[in-house]
Each structure stands twice: as structure tokens, then as C-alpha cells.
Structure 1
Amino acid sequence: PLLLLRGLSSGISIILFFYAMSKISFANATVLCYTNPIFAAVLGAMFLKEKLDLKTVALIITAFAGIILVLKPDFTGTGPGEAAGLLAGFFGGIGSAATRRLREKNESSFAVVFYFYIYSSLMALPLSYKGLMPDAPEAWLLICAIAVLITLALLFSISGYKYCSLATGSALSLLVVVFSYICGVLFLGEPSGLLSILGACLIVFANLFIIMKEKKIPAVE
């Protein structure tokens, strides 16, 4: 049941995120989707009996504020796109909570990733009847590279939940925004600015403080 919950919730989160991007800007969709650490921390405290103190909450909010500074969303109203982005964050939080519980039960990271791909592929298949096969060879290379990198990222992320709390693991996932920002500046020529740099620093320092205050959680052998 937990593998099913994890696969379905994470798959729904991804589908909702892409739907949100089709309706609103990438920055707005990403900020809404990255509310998932907040939902994950609350779910961990409610259902996994993990301790959630005010300092951790404040640090997660600080990191989220950093994301807003990096992406600079321009919310002008509410609609289906905004709702989908927020729901993507909620279901992402459920997926993170299920992952943490699976790792407590010593479930293999490979099994978690495998079932995630199975369930998310089955859900996405009916939605991909148009443009299922890319035409350009370069597109295939990019798709293969993305698949390999995402799989590695998932394996490392899922393995990490064996050794840290749900709140800490979810907060660390926000570093994706920092690395994406750096890669965009270095390799894609995207503009940089003082607010973006400040936001990236907030995310990094908030995570450093979370790691330093995190009590050691014994691994499940």
C-alpha cells in the first residue's frame, strides 16, 4: 500500500506540475510546487510522529522565501493553474511522507523508484496521445540524459530519507532551485541579479542550519 501511495501521489504531483506550467508561468508553477516541504513537515508531525519545532518551521519558511527571490513569481490572480501548482506541492508532500515511512521499513530505494515509474507512466500514458514520439535525434539524447539524471537523483533522495527526518529531507530538496539557478547562469546564459543571489544564499544557509540542528536519527538496518 505504501509503494502504491508513494507512486500515485508523486505521479499526480508531476502531472499537476506540468499542467500548471501550461497555464501559468514556470516561476509561479515552481514556487507553488515547492510548497511540498511545508506539507511534508506537517504530515510527518501528524502521521509519523516526527518532532517539528518552531526553529525548523522558520528555517523551511526562510528557504521558501529564498525560492521566491530566485524565481520572482508574479502572481496576479488565482485560477486552475495556481490550484494545480498548489495541489502538486500537496501531493509531493504526501509522496515524501510515504518515502520516509518506506525507508523506515527498510524498503529498497530501487523498489521505490521502480514502482514510482510504473504508476506515473500508467497515469501519464492517456495524456500523451499527441506528440508521444520526438522527431529530432537531439531530443532523444536529451530525454535519455534527463531520464538517467532524474533516476540517480531519485535514488540518492530516497536513500537519504533513511538517515534524516522528513522535514530535513524535504527542506534539502529545495537546493534543487539553487543548483538549477547556477546551471542556468553558467551554461544557458540566463541573467543573474542581486535578489536571485540573495535568495540562493537564503536557501543554502537555511538548509545548513537545519542540518546542524538536526538530531541524529539512527538508520534502519
Structure 2
Amino acid sequence: MKGFTVPERWRGMPLLILASFLFALMALFARMLSGQLSVGQVVCGRFAVGLVFLAVYYPAVRRRPRFGRPLLWALRGVFGGISVYLYFVCIDRVAVGPAVLLNACWPIYGSILGYFFLKEHVSGPLLAGLVMTTVGAGLVIWGTSLETSSLSFGLGAWAGMFSAVFSGAAVVAMRALRNDTDAATVFLSFCFFGLLFGLPFALADWRPLSPHTVGLLVGVGLASAVAQMIFTYAMGYVTTAMGGVGSQLTPVFSWLLGAVFLAEPLAPLALLGAALCVGGVLWGTGLLHKLLAPSPLSPPPGRPNA
């Protein structure tokens, strides 16, 4: 907003923490809708709120969408829409903490897909990180399954893993678009094609709406949109490494919110798997190395400041 500035002490990591919390809050609201509305309805609710936001945004800034490469633009939205649908299927059938964690493994899959389609470098640590996150995800699924007797748990767990794969594909498409397509137009693709993808599922399993469910749907959409805007703003004040670390706080917040508000169990084996997943993402994408590397502005250890 023109003329509005965030105090310097609240920029960067504080805003990343807030964005991670809001992403976790979105997952909590979606979990609260489990059994009340179909997954398709929740998906459509999320993207409908995003389209309303864009309908206000474009006239306010006096701009129009800029379509650089229409096919790639459409693919970004399709991949993103599939990812969100599978993500919400996972949330609908699995505890909110493990569901968010399975989706949070997307940086590894995005890096692998980036190698094949964008010719980006794949290192040994990346492959090791992929193995670590895969083992961690398996432990999350195993540990959580011991705490639930739901027959649909297996479907939800697989949906969570594939949601991470499609998230990675969506990010790869977004990277390819970044030179000739603005962020709002990319977000438009996400919302438009996500709504189209979710609509048949919503109509096929339409359930009556109530003030309570509508309120939660609006909460899902608003929490997602505000979190995305805050995250984007905060990334202008931190390194890529810090941004990656900040995003890994979302599963932590989700687990805590699920335990506090939904009394969901904290399985020790699943928590061990969570640690492996987060460690694998940080290691495989190089974020851990960047965080531990000394700053070039700092003097070598043992030497006084000049």
C-alpha cells in the first residue's frame, strides 16, 4: 500500500514467522472443515477468495495481467491446482501437522524437476536430501498411522506426498515464467486454474453451506492470500536461505495448532520423521550450508575487527 511502511525491526524474519503461522492457520481451518464440506468445496473456496482479491488489486494499481508465455502460464496454474487439491485431500484424511509436513518437502522435488526441465545443477547433497526426506516422510506416515484407525489414511498420505511433487512442478513453471510475467499474473493462473480443477469435485460432492462453514472457507482463503503477500514482502529483506528456513516453520506451527485446537496426537515416530524431512530439505537445497557458512563481512575466527 502506497505510503505504508513496516518498521525495520518487524521486517525480514519476524514477517516470515508470521507468514508461516498464517499458512499453518489456513491448514487448520481446512482441517476443521473435514467432514462438513467436500475437498472440492474447500479448494474452490480458497481460490475464489484469491480471485476476489485480484479483482480488487488490478483496478487499484491500474494494471492488467501480462501473459508472457500462455502455455507455461497455464501449466503453472494446473500444477498448482492439482497440488492444492491433493494437499487438502491429505488434510481431510490425516492430522494437520503430518499433512503440512508432507507437502513441505516440495523444495527437494522442485530441485529434481528443475534439473530435467531447466537444466539446473543437481548436487550430491541434493540427492542425499531426497533420500533423507523420503525416509522422513515414511516415518511420518508410519508413526501417524499408528495413532489412527482411519481406513482412508493411506490415500491421504499418498496424496500429501504427490502434492509436494506437483508443488515442485508448479515452482519450476513459475521460475521459467519469472522473466516475462509479473507475480500477480502468476497468482491469477494459480487461482483461475485451481478453481477450474476443483469445481467438478465440488459439484460432484456438494454439501450444504452454513454460516459456520462459510466463515471457515473465508478464513482458508484470507489466511492463504495474506500469508502469500507477507511472505513475498519479507523476502525482500532476507536471504534465500533464511526464507527457506522460515518456510519450514509452517509444519511446526501446524503440528502445534492441531494439538491445541483439535487434540491431534504427537506421535514420537512421526516427530522423528518430521525432523528428518526438515533436515533433508535444508541440507539438500543447500540452505543449511548457507546458514552455517561465515558471513563474508565478518572477520575470520580468532582475528580482531580491523
- Normalising by the residue count of structure 1, what TM-score does the alignment of the two structures yield? 0.69
How do 1:1-221 residues align onto structure 2 when only pairs under 5 Å count?
1-18=71-88, 25-26=93-94, 36-71=106-141, 72=143, 74=145, 87-103=162-178, 105=179, 107-129=181-203, 130-131=205-206, 134-135=209-210, 137-155=211-229, 164=240, 175-209=249-283, 210-214=286-290
**Number of residues of Structure 1 aligned to a counterpart in Structure 2:** 206
Given the superposition, is the C-alpha separation of residues 132 and 193 from structure 1 closer, same or farther in structure 2, using an over 3 Å criterion? closer
Structure 2 letter corresponding to 1:92: S
* Counterpart code for 2:133: A
Q: Deviations over 1:4-48 (max 9, x none)?
A: 1100111123334556778xx537987876664443222111222
> In 2, Cα distance between the equivalents of 1:92 and 1:54?
22
Which 5+ residue runs of structure 2 have no aligned equivalent? 1-70, 146-150, 292-306
Q: Which residue type is aligned with residue 26 of structure 1?
A: V
Name the TM-score, length of structure 2 as normaliser.
0.52
Structure 1: gaps (5+ residues) = 216-221
Q: How big is the shift at 1:196?
A: 3.2
Task: Tell me which of the two structures has the higher relative contact order, counting C-alpha pairs closer than 8 angstroms and 6 or more residues apart.
Answer: 2
- Bigger radius of gyration among the two: 2
**Percent of residue pairs bearing the same amino acid type:** 30
The CA deviation at 1:121 is: 0.9
1:89 and 1:192, CA in 2 relative to 1: closer, same or farther beyond 3 A?
closer
- Cα distance in 2 for partners of 1:155, 1:62 equals 31
